[in-house]
Each structure stands twice: as C-alpha cells, then as structure tokens.
Structure 1
Amino acid sequence: MKAVERVDQFYLLKQLPKATALLCKKGIVQDASCSWLEIFSQSLQDKNHQTKIFPLYPEFLDLEKKLMEHTPFSIKHKIKSSKGTRHLKSYFAPWFDEKENVIGTIVQTDDITSEVEKEQQIDWLNNILETKVEVSKTGWWEYEIEEEKLTWCKETKRIHQVPECFEPTVIEALNFYKPGYSRNKASMLFHKIALSHQPYDAKLMIVTLHGEERWVRITGKPIIENGKTVKVFGTIKDIHDQVTAETTVKEHQQLLSTLVDSLPLNVYVKDLESRKVLVNKGECKFLNKKPEQVIGKTDFDLYSEETAKIFREEDLQVMKHLTPIIGKETASTVHGKTIYFLTSKIPYFDLEGKVCGLIGMSLDITNIKKKEEQLRNLINITSMQNQKLISFAHIVSHNLRSHSANFSMLLGFLNSEKDAEERKRILKMLSQASDNLLETLENLNQVVDINTKTSETKTPLNLKNNVLKVLENLSALLEENKSQVINNISENIEVNCVPAYLDSIILNLVSNAIKYKSPNREPLITINAVKSNEGIILSISDNGLGINLDKYGDKIFGMYKTFHNRKDAKGFGLYLVRNQIEAMGGSITVQSEVDKGTTFNVYFNEES
C-alpha cells in the first residue's frame, strides 16, 4: 500500500504547475515536475543517469555548503536557451520524512523573466528620468495631503542646496522663498490649489540653504479623487541663468534702443522684401506715424510710387550685390513736404552670415540745403550788388563828370562873354544844366534809397485791385493812345509786397507798353497772374515795337539804356523796376520779338 502511495506522490509531483524537484542529501535529483525538467532541459528517463543539482547553478559555488545547513534560502539566477536568457528564482527548503528527519531538499523554481525585464525597464526609465532631470535642471516634488507628507527629488534638493537626507515640511519649503512677493505668492498658490483645483505656473525667487538668491520656475497640479484633492504634484526648475541672461539681453536692448532713438538720424531695418522690421523714433517722426503703423510696411505703402521704385532699386543693389550706399543725397516727399537726406544703406547679415535685409540711416539735411541755397542767393545778390555798385559808381562818375564839365564850360563862356543877350542865353543854359543835374541826383538818390531801405515791410496785397488802381491813374493816357487792356487776374490772388514798389512796378511796365507802341496798330496790353511752385508770377504783355534781345538783351535793365529813338526815353524806368523787385527778393525776366511785342514776367518772393 505504501509503495502505491509513493508512486502516486511522484506521479502527482510530475504534474505540479510549479516547477519542483526533490533532492537527496547529496544533491542528486530524485524526482521533478515536468515544468522543472523543461526549465533546466533535463530528463529522468535514463535510470542509470544521476542528475546533480550543482552543475545547474554554476555561478553559486557554495550551493553544496548551503544545502548542508538544512535551512531555507533562495537564489536568483539565469539560464540561456535557444529562446534567449531566462531569469529564475529558486527556493530551497529541507525535505523531512514522517519522523521529521531531514532526508533531502525541496527545490521550487519560478520564471521571473517578465518581472526582471519590467524592473530593468523601470530602472532604464528611472535613469532616463534622472538624466533628464539633471540636464534640464528640473526637479519634482509631491505632497500627500492626508499624510501631510512632502517629498523632494534629488534635483529639487540640489536646487535648494540641501543634503540628500533633508526631508522638508511644507512650512520649511515655503520659507525657502525670498521674503516678500515670492514667499507670499508661493504660499498663496500652494494653499489655493487644494481649494480651486487649478494648476499654477510662476517665476519666483528662492534663497538657498547657502544664502544664494536664485530664480526658479514652479508648477503645481492637483491629483483629484471624488472631487477632492488628495495629492499635489509639482516641478521646480532652476532658471536663474536664463533669467539673468534675459535681463542682460533686455538691458542691452534697452540701451541699444535708447541709443538708436536718441540719434539725430532716421534709422530702420528692412527684410529681403524691403518691409520695415525696425524703426527708431526719428523715422516715425518723419513719417508722422506710430511704430505699429510702419512695421511690416514697404516704401510703396509710405511714399509715392516713383520714390518707392527708386528706394526698392537701391535696396536690391545693397542686398544682392552687397554694395553699401554711403552718404547718398536723396529727397523724400511726405505730406506734400520735400525733405533732403544723406542716406546710407548697408547689408544686414544673420548669424549664419547670410543676407537677411539691410540697415538704413538717413540724416536730415533740409536745413543745410536751405542754408546752402541762402548762401548761393547771398553770393548771387552780393555779386549782383557788387556789379550794381560798380555800374552805379560808373554812372555817378560819368554823369556827374559830364554835368561838372558842362557847368565849367558854361561858366567859362559866361565869364568871357560881354554881350548881355549872349550872357542871358548862357544863364538860361546854366539853369537847364542845373535842372538836369538835379534830375540825375534825384534818380541816383531814388536807386540808393531802394537798395538801402531794408526795413521796408511787405504786406499782403490784392494784385487785381492794385492793377485796377494803376490803370485808373493811367486812364487818360490809355484813352489818348486808344489802348485796350485785358486784365485776366483772379480776384483772390495776393502778393507780399511793399505797396509803393508794387504800384511803381505796374505803372512803369504799363506806361512803357503805351510809350513804345507800334505806329501800325493800336496798343493791346494783356495782364495775367498765375500761382506756381516759384510763387506768384505777374505777366504784362504788349503788341508794341519789341526789342532786339540778341543785340540789347544784356542791357535792357541798365540805367539810362534806351533802344528806340524817342526824345522822351530816359532809360531809367526798367532799371528802377528791377531794383524794386530785387529789393523784395523777387526777379524779372523779359521775352520780346521786334515789331511783335514784349512780355515782362515778374516773380514775387512770397516770404515775408
């Protein structure tokens, strides 16, 4: 009966789902389950072959000694097969008979390959996490609300510069934040998250255990179960270097921005499409726009098409050919006002050395151009005045010398003449000579008066009304000569003039048109006035004798210059007119053709 039971027991052993083997005291396998034999690739069919346990565990040299101690123990080991490496855990325990005598050892083996692989994967993930934490300088923390337990990872402790054994409380953790805003903010966020269930993300400053102030970025996220926060998980990242760098960059940007905005230049940066990506205050002031109204715009959005095309061609030359433009004089018209600049454009390169646009700088030289224009005008006026002075001195010298010689000669005749009638005739000639001298002196005095009265004030005058007043004064002369006057001047045209000069100019030009009429036709005088870029232009045209400009063009405004054989011609009126016009900052030109007529164009200077 016992033999049958023993056979049944061994048969049952073979069917056990757990890999099990029975060893004798010498470590020889007496019997084993099929699963154990399959693990170790063993067979008990050959009765003459004894399977010893020790070769199956070659890495454990003291296994035999451990078995002799007859105490339970376990070992982890691995075997290699065609299916790869298998990880095993074997449990050794004494095998007793019915009298509790040790007769051997029971071995049970578990395949823990999947557990080992999971542990390895977990270790691998933990290593990756630790590496990421170390590289990113981002630590994590966890607070279990019910247990009131706060846990910091190694990186979090490193950020706070505390030892790895340090286990903080919530109060201790909050006290690491810099007193004031940072500590108050951190406390508020931490206590609020449990109630509001809202995550947070903030930049604050901590004071480490070593007293070092450092910027950190903290986040917190609630873990909610059944509508209640049971845990708070968060991160802390050391961003001190980043914040310091950003602050330095902002300070440099502010310094650069202040410097660029303070320059007496218009500064701008364009991209490859000539869109403005940066402008300073000078450029915005010139365009009379806010920065946001200029950024992203091209010159076609800001200037006339003609000007924009010129600027675009310059931009392409700079960016494609890398040819800077330095100190080029340009003109821009904005809001109807033309401004002159000295413009420079240089290529703008990115960090890889590729052209990504251009940098432009423009210096407003409008005032300099005006000064240059004023200087040129002053030089011209000085030259003209010098020429006038020379001419005037020549005239004074010549005319007064002529009068003096005439007086001297007549006085000589008077002294030597005894005849009363002849003396009377000489005295009459002396009286006439005296009148001529007085007239000459009056003319010369009038010219001097015009050129020296710089304080004469110009006032706005209605041009048409002044012309009508002069024509009314000349009505008798016009009627006597059967003259026709066509006055085309608009009623709203005003000129800045010295009143007496304007009347004299109109009077002389109209009376000359009558005086030098053609004997073959009745006088026709046409008066026009137009507004132009140069100011108001007054034109007085006639159909009279005309003047040979090829022959007399350079003498027409000279003193005492006459061009027709008229006894009443003195050659002083046009000389006087030119002096009056130039004294007011204007000019006069003439167009004439013999026997067809003459046109005088008077250009008024509208500046006060």
Structure 2
Amino acid sequence: MQTLSIDFIIRDSPTAVAVLDSNLCFIKHSAIWHRDFASDFDAIIGRYYYDILPDTPDFLRELYSNCLRGASNSNPGKKFVSVNGTVTWLSWKIKPWRDDDDTIKGLIIVLEDVTEIKRKEELLLTSQKVAKTGAWEVDLLSDRVYWTPITKEIHQVPESYEPTLETGINFYKKGLHRNTITRFVTDAMNDGTPWDAEFILVTARGNEVWVRAKGEVEIVDGRPTRLYGTFQDIDEKKKAELKFIETSERLAIATKGAKIGIWDYDFATRKLICDENMFKLYGVDESSCNDRYAELFSVLHPEDRESAYRAWKIAVSGLKEFDTEFRIVRPDGKIRHLKALGVVQMDAEGRALKITGTNWDITALKKTQMLLKNSEESFTGAFESSSIGMALVGLKGQWMKVNQSLCNSLGYEEKKLMQMTFQQITHKEDLEKDLHLLQELLDGKRDSYQIDKRYYHKSGKIVHVILSVTGVRKINGELSHFISQIMDISPRIIAEKELTRLVEVTSEQNESLLNFAHIVSHNLRSHSSNLSMLSGFLNTETDEGERTNLVEMLHDASESLSETVVHLNEVVQVKINVHDKMKPVNLYRTIKGVKKNLGLLLQEENAKLHIEIDKNLVVNGISAYLDSIFLNLITNSIKYSSSDRPPVITIGSQKTNGKIIISFSDNGLGIDLKRHGDKLFGMYKTFHRNSEAKGIGLFITKNQIEAMNGKIEVESTVDVGTTFKLYFETEHSKV
C-alpha cells in the first residue's frame, strides 16, 4: 500500500521527477517529466535514460556518474547551448537513493526547464544594464543598505563595497543636490512621501554624473520599514539636454540679434507658425494677421512669386531642400531681399508632414554683390584689354588667369601657358631674386614688389620685362593669390643694345681713325719718303744697271703702298652696315667649305683638321665674315705650326647662356701672352719671325667678330699650342 502511495505521489508530482536504477534506466517518473522531456515516447519505464534524452549535456552526464558514487548536486538554473544553437536553461536536484543496507540503487532526479523564466530574467538584467538602471534598498529596522551591481557601477565603487545610508547620501554633490536628497529621505521616513528627481552625484573616482533617483516607502503598521527604488545613469542624456537648452537659448539670442525669422508650416492643418522676427522682416502686424500663409505670401514681389512657389513645390515633393531667394514689397513700399531655407519632414509614404525654416534679410548683401559684380566686370575688362601683360598667380606659382597681352609677349597660347608655372619660364639668373621677394610677400614683410627680370619666349629668345607683383588677401588676412603686371620692355632693350653697339662701333671707328692717323703719319709717310728718295736717286743716276735696280725698288715700294691702302680699306669696310646683313648661318657647312678650299694646303702641310660641332649648329652672323674668320685662323695655325710635329687643328662648340662658343685649338708654336697679350689683335703686330706675317689677319678677325656682336678670347702656351674662343649669338638671342 505504501509503495502504491509512493507511485501516485511521484506520478502526480507538480515537478518533473524521475527515479532511475543504477544502470540509469527509468523505474518511475512523474507525468510532468513524461510531458516535458519524453513526449515523443508512449512509455519509458525500463528504458535507458540517454536513449530517451540523447542530447543530455556532457556536464549533466558527469554529474549523474558522480551522484551514482554517492554525491548530490543541485542548481537553480544553468544555461546550455545545443549544437544547433538552441538555448535551454535547466534547474535540477540530483540525489542517489539507497536500499535498507545503505547501498546506492539509483538516482532521483528533479529536472525543470526554466528557459522562459531565465530568459525574462536575462532580458531584464540586459535592459537594466543598457538603461544603466540599478536598484537600491534601505532596511530601516536593521539600517542595512543594499545596492545592485549596476548601482555600484554608477557610483564607481567595487562590487565588495558596502554602503550605509550616510555614505550613500554623501555621494550627492555638496550643496543643492545633497540637501535635496536629504530632505526627500527625511520626508519619506516621516510621512512615506515617495520621490523621483534628478541629481548630480560625485563618484568614488571624483567624476560628476547626472542620475535619476526614484524612491518608494514600505509602511507596516503605520510606520516606514523599508526604502527602495531605482538608480539610473542619465549623464549623457542630461548633458545633451542641457547643451540643447544652452544652444536653444543662444540660438534665440542669435536669431533675435541677427533678425532671423523662424517659421513652421503644418501641411495637415495648413497652419503657419511664425516668430516675431518673421513679422518684423515682412513688415506685417502680427495681431492683425489672421491667415499668416496668405498674408506673407501676398507681399512677395510679383516677379519672384513663381520661382519661390516652384522652389516650395520641389521641396514638398522631396526632391531637394527648400533653398531660395526672393524679394518682398513691404506695406511701406520698400523692397527687401530675403533668403529662405527650410527642412521638410516626410512620413513613411513620402508625404510632407511639416516644413521648418528660416528667413533673413540679405538686402545689404545683394547690394554688395552688385557692387562687387560691377567691380569684377571693370577689373575683367581692364585685365583683358590691357596693353601690358597681366596674370593672376596662385601661391605655388601656377597661373590662374592670364590676358592676351602676356600670351603675345611670351609666345604661348593661353591653354598651354595655364599648364605651366612662372618658375618654368623665368630666366635662371633671375629666379632666385624673384622667389626671395615673393617669400617676403608670403611672410607679410611686404605688400608688393617690382623688379626687372627675363622670361624665356616659347621660341627660346629672351623677353625682358618689368614685373610688378601685388598680394591679394582674404577677409581674414591670409594671402589668396597674386596679381602680376608684366610690361614687355624687349624693344627698349634692343634699342639700348643697338645704341650701345653704335657707341662701341663709334669708339672703335675713332680708334681706327687713330690707327689711320698713325699709319698716315708713319706708314704712308715712310712710303712717301721712300718713293721720293728713290725718285731722286733715279733722276740723278746715270748708270743703267743702277737705274734698273732703282726702278725695281720703286716698283716694290709702290706695291707696298698699295697693299697698305688695301688693308686700310678692309678695316673701314668691316663695320659698315653690318647689322642689316646678319642672318642665320649654318656654322658646320661654313667650316666644311673653308676646309675644302684649303684642302691642298692641309695636304701639303700634312695637317689634320677635326670638326667636332653639331651639323645643325646655326649662329646669327654674316657668311662672308665667317668664311674669312675661319680661313684666317686655319691658315695662321698652319703658318705658325711647329716643325717638331704635324699640325693638328680641332674645332669644337658648346652652348651657354644663349651664346654659342666655338673653340679653335692647334698644337703650334703658341704665343707668349705675358709679352704680347695686350697687342695680340693690334694692326701690323707680329710675334714670330715669319716672312709672310703682315700683322693684319687677327686685327681684321677681331673686328669682324665684334661687328657681328661677338667676341674673341685667346689661351696660349709657348710650344704647346693656342686656343681661340669665339662667342656668337644664336639665331634666337637677338634680344
């Protein structure tokens, strides 16, 4: 009878109970067990536990084994995650059952699925943590104070911290907040008054945090026995709220000071709400304005109503924000320009619910813009039509805008010039000075500067300019860009050079006249005296042999006089009308021509002539002069060659600073420049005992080179050789 009663008790147990034998086979179980854990089986008595519950966690399997060895175990709830991701919470009590001999015969298992309860608890704890809400309690009978972990976290105290009512109150900021919470607690203890307020507390780490504290009172037999409530961290929300209030107050002050009107239109009620600034902007009396939408719309300038309405419709459709400008005609007849901005709020279907916006007066701005436009148009007109080059230049040297005069001066098309920087076309000798002054302008040491400088023309020639640079600054004082005025003075430089050349020619001609005077006073007088003396001897001589000899001497003196006259004529002709005869001449072909003409002489003297110049090398000069120069230098090299070695002549070239330098070197006798350097190019000056030397060749050569705006230099070592350096203009270096 007792066994039958036990069977009924287990079967009708309000919990899931199972009795297992030592092999973990079911002996007895409650109806709830069968329902909750074995509903897929008709009967489980005698069945193996793990056949019925194959997904039993390993942790429980180990517990069952331990309990069969005499242990007991219980747990109010443990979370398990199955292989398929299902989450289950189980609570259990496991005890071994014994026979009369105290031998373990099996297990009694009370198992409960508490998943729903635990899930709700977990969600509650999570929501409390996310909301940063903790709980607290004060037992007024024992003075015991309890804080939940989140409450301790808010106070920034360790989990082991044990507060008291006094220490809890002392966390509130001294002054208003501590006094207020003290009053609330006192009132609650005296008459049971609850509270819900916001405070600042100072945490254990010294941080000020806004919190919301709620308190309730539990009363037993007419007296408070317990205080309890919640404690929420609202620091971020409260500071944002205070910031919003502060910003709103500033906005209100700013909009009032800036006379910005704020409006709000509700599409459902068709009601327009405006602040006082709106009515002041429109000049409308707020008290007499019944239909504000119609009243404000009616004062729009007739020419702007359509565009303003179109902007409104586009904004309402959601295509773009409301952003427009229009004019209004105030009741006093004055026309004002207004700017309007608005943000539309839409519902889920994309229909406009409300639009909130601002208006402000931009009349002064419009007038300024008009003046600025007129000024810009004037500047643009002056910029484009200026006869001198003008440019807007960026802070890094890039062209921002150039006029046609500058393009004409530099030879570039506007598109090409805009792709370059001024540094790229500035003459390298002028760049450092220009950049130094520009840096002083950037550093604020000067506002502008003016210099003479040179640019490279697209063709390669030099363009001389007067450059004026002025810095343009923004409102805040920072440099924005530069305005450059570039006056092309190349024609003036050409004229100055021509004048200088004419002065030099005149000076040289004067020198030539002195030479003439010297020759006339010395050379021609010598010839004259010689001829006179020979004539006298001839008239008095009676011996026919002597007369014949005197006649031959008279003939030689006459030829010498003729040669002197020819030399003088050549000197005079060298610099007459030279500038008009100059043109581009291929230097390589000129030298090759001279070499061909002297081929027999070079061969007879076993001389080598090396021409090491570019076949396309072109200089600005006179072809006949160039022929004469190289003919004279080559014949001189052969004439004054060393008897110890065959003559070797080398002609090379290089370009530098817009000039072409021809080096003419030989391995001949050389010249003692210490003794003869100052008279090397003098007329009738010779430096070697050569019967064919006349002292006129180098004089003529120097005059011919200088007549072509060039110059000649010499380097020489006795018995080593001589090098002449001839400087010529390129065909692009006339300026």
User: Contact 2:685/2:696 (CA < 8 Å) preserved in 1?
Assistant: yes
Paired residue for 1:595?
Answer: 719
Change (3 A) 1:526 1:431: closer
For residue 562 of structure 1, report the CA deviation from its aligned partner: 1.7
Paired residue for 2:704?
Answer: 580
1:163 aligns with 2:285: yes
Matches within 5 A, 1:563-578: 563-578=687-702
Q: Secondary structure at the match of 2:684?
A: coil
Change (3 A) 1:267 1:212: same
Paired residue for 1:461?
Answer: 586
Moved more, 259-268 or 421-430: 259-268
- The match for 2:645 among 518, 522, 528 is 522
For residue 215 of structure 1, report the CA deviation from its aligned partner: 0.6
Question: What does the per-residue CA deviation read over 1:348-377, in whole Å, with 9 as the maximum and x for residues that have no partner?
Answer: 99989x998997968668736666655555
For residue 505 of structure 1, report the CA deviation from its aligned partner: 2.0
Change (3 A) 1:293 1:142: same
Distance 1:428 1:328 in 2: 71
Distance 1:491 1:343 in 2: 37
Distance 1:302 1:569 in 2: 50
Paired residue for 2:329?
Answer: 207
- Equivalent residue letter for 2:659: G
Q: Secondary structure at the match of 1:554?
A: helix
Paired residue for 2:626?
Answer: 502
Question: What does the per-residue CA deviation read over 1:510-551, in whole Å, with 9 as the maximum and x for residues that have no partner?
Answer: 2222222334x1332222221221633333333333222222
User: Contact 2:637/2:649 (CA < 8 Å) preserved in 1?
Assistant: no
- The match for 2:560 among 430, 436, 445 is 436
Paired residue for 2:366?
Answer: 243
- Equivalent residue letter for 1:218: A
Moved more, 566-575 or 204-213: 566-575
Normalization by structure 2: what TM-score?
Answer: 0.52
Distance 2:689 2:654 in 1: 37
- The match for 1:553 among 673, 677, 682 is 677
Question: What does the per-residue CA deviation read over 1:291-313, in whole Å, with 9 as the maximum and x for residues that have no partner?
Answer: 9989xx9x999999999887776
Matches within 5 A, 1:282-361: 322=445
User: Contact 1:141/1:153 (CA < 8 Å) preserved in 2?
Assistant: yes
Distance 2:613 2:417 in 1: 45
Distance 1:381 1:195 in 2: 86
For residue 213 of structure 1, report the CA deviation from its aligned partner: 1.0
1:216 aligns with 2:216: no
Paired residue for 1:411?
Answer: 535
- Equivalent residue letter for 1:428: E
User: Contact 1:529/1:536 (CA < 8 Å) preserved in 2?
Assistant: no
1:483 aligns with 2:606: yes
Question: What does the per-residue CA deviation read over 1:375-428, in whole Å, with 9 as the maximum and x for residues that have no partner?
Answer: 555544443333233223432453333333333333334444455555444443
Question: What does the per-residue CA deviation read over 1:83-123, in whole Å, with 9 as the maximum and x for residues that have no partner?
Answer: 9xxxxxxxxxxxxxxxxxxxxxxxxxxxxxxxxxxxxxxxx
Question: What does the per-residue CA deviation read over 1:184-220, in whole Å, with 9 as the maximum and x for residues that have no partner?
Answer: 1123244555555965121111111122110112345
1:179 aligns with 2:302: yes
Distance 1:414 1:242 in 2: 112
Question: What does the per-residue CA deviation read over 1:38-76, in whole Å, with 9 as the maximum and x for residues that have no partner?
Answer: xxxxxxxxxxxxxxxxxxxxxxxxxxxxxxxxxxxxxxx
Distance 1:605 1:560 in 2: 29
Change (3 A) 1:347 1:230: closer
User: Contact 1:523/1:542 (CA < 8 Å) preserved in 2?
Assistant: no
User: Contact 1:266/1:281 (CA < 8 Å) preserved in 2?
Assistant: yes
For residue 276 of structure 1, report the CA deviation from its aligned partner: 7.0
Question: What does the per-residue CA deviation read over 1:164-198, in whole Å, with 9 as the maximum and x for residues that have no partner?
Answer: 41435756543422222x11112324455555596
Change (3 A) 1:319 1:490: closer
Paired residue for 2:523?
Answer: 399
User: Contact 1:151/1:168 (CA < 8 Å) preserved in 2?
Assistant: no
- Equivalent residue letter for 1:177: L
Distance 1:278 1:505 in 2: 47
Q: Unpaired segments of 5 or more residues in structure 1?
A: 1-81, 84-124
Q: Secondary structure at the match of 2:574?
A: helix
- The match for 2:572 among 435, 448, 457 is 448
Distance 2:599 2:346 in 1: 109
For residue 605 of structure 1, report the CA deviation from its aligned partner: 2.7
Matches within 5 A, 1:133-148: 134-140=256-262
User: Contact 1:203/1:217 (CA < 8 Å) preserved in 2?
Assistant: yes
Moved more, 405-414 or 325-334: 325-334
User: Contact 1:484/1:523 (CA < 8 Å) preserved in 2?
Assistant: yes
Question: What does the per-residue CA deviation read over 1:215-245, in whole Å, with 9 as the maximum and x for residues that have no partner?
Answer: 1123455566785556665543323234334
Distance 1:347 1:221 in 2: 41
Matches within 5 A, 1:126-137: 134-137=256-259
Distance 1:599 1:322 in 2: 51
Question: What does the per-residue CA deviation read over 1:145-173, in whole Å, with 9 as the maximum and x for residues that have no partner?
Answer: 67766666543333232334143575654
User: Contact 1:268/1:360 (CA < 8 Å) preserved in 2?
Assistant: yes
Paired residue for 2:15?
Answer: none
Question: What does the per-residue CA deviation read over 1:317-375, in whole Å, with 9 as the maximum and x for residues that have no partner?
Answer: 677794789656677889988777777889999989x9989979686687366666555
Moved more, 190-199 or 545-554: 190-199
Q: Secondary structure at the match of 1:536?
A: strand
- Equivalent residue letter for 2:552: K
User: Contact 1:585/1:605 (CA < 8 Å) preserved in 2?
Assistant: yes
Paired residue for 2:128?
Answer: none
Distance 1:204 1:268 in 2: 37
User: Contact 2:642/2:669 (CA < 8 Å) preserved in 1?
Assistant: yes
User: Contact 1:514/1:523 (CA < 8 Å) preserved in 2?
Assistant: no
- Equivalent residue letter for 2:528: S
Change (3 A) 1:362 1:386: farther
The root-mean-square deviation of aligned C-alpha atoms, in Å, is 5.1
Q: Secondary structure at the match of 1:598?
A: strand
Q: Secondary structure at the match of 2:632?
A: helix
User: Contact 1:139/1:237 (CA < 8 Å) preserved in 2?
Assistant: yes
Aligned length: 475
User: Contact 2:264/2:273 (CA < 8 Å) preserved in 1?
Assistant: yes
User: Contact 2:406/2:486 (CA < 8 Å) preserved in 1?
Assistant: no
Change (3 A) 1:327 1:589: same
Q: Secondary structure at the match of 1:518?
A: coil
Moved more, 404-413 or 277-286: 277-286
User: Contact 1:269/1:360 (CA < 8 Å) preserved in 2?
Assistant: no
User: Contact 1:268/1:279 (CA < 8 Å) preserved in 2?
Assistant: yes
Change (3 A) 1:601 1:407: same
Normalization by structure 1: what TM-score?
Answer: 0.61
Q: Secondary structure at the match of 2:651?
A: strand
Moved more, 130-139 or 252-261: 252-261
Identity %: 31
Distance 2:423 2:675 in 1: 52
Moved more, 386-395 or 357-366: 357-366
Distance 2:392 2:354 in 1: 56
- Equivalent residue letter for 2:359: I
Change (3 A) 1:230 1:332: closer
Distance 2:628 2:597 in 1: 12
